[in-house]
Every structure is written in structure tokens, then in C-alpha cells.
Amino acid sequence: MSRKVDGVLVTGSAGLIGSESVRFYCERGDRVIGVDNDARRYFFGKPASTAWNRRLLERRYRNYRHENVDVRGGRGRAGQDSEVPQAYQRTLMEIAEPEAL
Ligand SMILES: NC(=O)c1ccc[n+]([C@@H]2O[C@H](COP(=O)([O-])OP(=O)(O)OC[C@H]3O[C@@H](n4cnc5c(N)ncnc54)[C@H](O)[C@@H]3O)[C@@H](O)[C@H]2O)c1
């Protein structure tokens, strides 16, 4: 795959597969927005958290931005109500029409 794109949205971006995807796209120079609400911690407890991986990505790649939102919309950090629908919509719009924001 060699096509250059304006932005890449990676869901589950702090997880095993997602974080490797982030690395792939960031290293080829794409602007990457990752969506991950650390649901693993909510479901499986602190040892299962992927927050450490999120921090690594944020530190390493200036072209990576993290959104701590639920891909399903309607909820923010797993189990808590929040303003997620608007935040997530904005993320998608940034990728589709960055100049419009
Ligand atoms: N690991 C493998 O070998 C493998 C192989 C084939 C397919 N898959 C599939 O790829 C996907 C990811 O697998 P993985 O191994 O990277 O899992 P993972 O648990 O390491 O990562 C999943 C990430 O998604 C996040 N997440 C979960 N629900 C979320 C939600 N509602 N909103 C936002 N973020 C959420 C978690 O916090 C976690 O960081 C899964 O669907 C899995 O079935 C994995």
C-alpha cells in the first residue's frame, strides 16, 4: 500500500493491532487520530490497561493524536456518560474535511 492519505483513523489504537497500525501510518508520515477509551481496564482491571501504550505513541509521534472516546458513541471513558458523540463527530470531520474546522 503506498497511497498517501490526508488522515488515518485507528480504532482501538492503544491495543496490540491498533498500536502497530498507528506506528505504520505515523512512520510513513500520515496524520493519525487514534480512538481508544482503555476499555480493557474497565473490563479486565488495571493490569489489562493499554494506557502505557497510548503514552508511548503520544510521546513518540508528533503526528499522532489520541481521543479517549468510545467508538460506539454515547459514552466516554468506559462506563461513564460524556459528551462523546460531538467529540467523535469532530474527529471524523477533521479527517474528512480538515479545512472546514
Ligand atoms: N491479536 C490478534 O492476533 C488478532 C488477530 C485477528 C484479529 N484480531 C482482532 O483485532 C481486534 C483488536 O485486537 P487486539 O489484539 O489489538 O486487542 P487489544 O485488546 O490489544 O486492543 C483493543 C483495544 O481497543 C480498545 N477498545 C475496546 N473497546 C473500545 C471501545 N468501545 N471504544 C474505544 N476503544 C475500545 C481497548 O481499550 C484496547 O486498547 C479485535 O477485534 C480482535 O478480535 C486480533
Using CA atoms, how far residue 37 sits from 4, 8, 29, 62, in Å, is: 27, 18, 24, 20
In a domain, 3, yes or no: no
Separation of CA 38 and ligand 1 centre (Å): 10
Q: Residue 92: inside a domain, yes or no?
A: yes
Could you tell me the distance, in angstroms and rounded to a whole number, from the CA of residue 14 to the centre of ligand 1? 9
Instruction: Determine which residue's CA is closest to atom 19 belonging to ligand 1.
Output: 15
- 3-class secondary structure for 23-46? HHHHHCCCCEEEECCCHHHHHHCH
The answer to whether residues 26 and 32 touch, using CB atoms and an 8 Å cutoff, is yes
pLDDT tens-digit profile, the chain (101 residues)? 555 556 888 989 999 999 999 999 999 998 898 989 999 999 999 999 999 999 999 999 999 999 888 877 654 455 454 444 455 556 666 655 656 54
Examine residue 51 and state whether it is found in any structural domain, yes or no. Answer: yes
Instruction: Write the residue with the smallest CA distance to atom 21 of ligand 1.
Output: 15
78 beta partners: none
Q: Sign of the CA dihedral 79, 82, 85, 88?
A: negative
Q: Would you say residue 41 lies in a domain?
A: yes
Q: Domain range for residue 48?
A: 8-100
Residue 1 included in any domain: no
Answer yes or no: pTM beyond 0.75. yes
Assess if residue 15 is contained within a domain: yes
Q: Which residues contact 46 (CB under 8 A, 6 or more apart)?
A: none
* Number of domains, the chain: 1
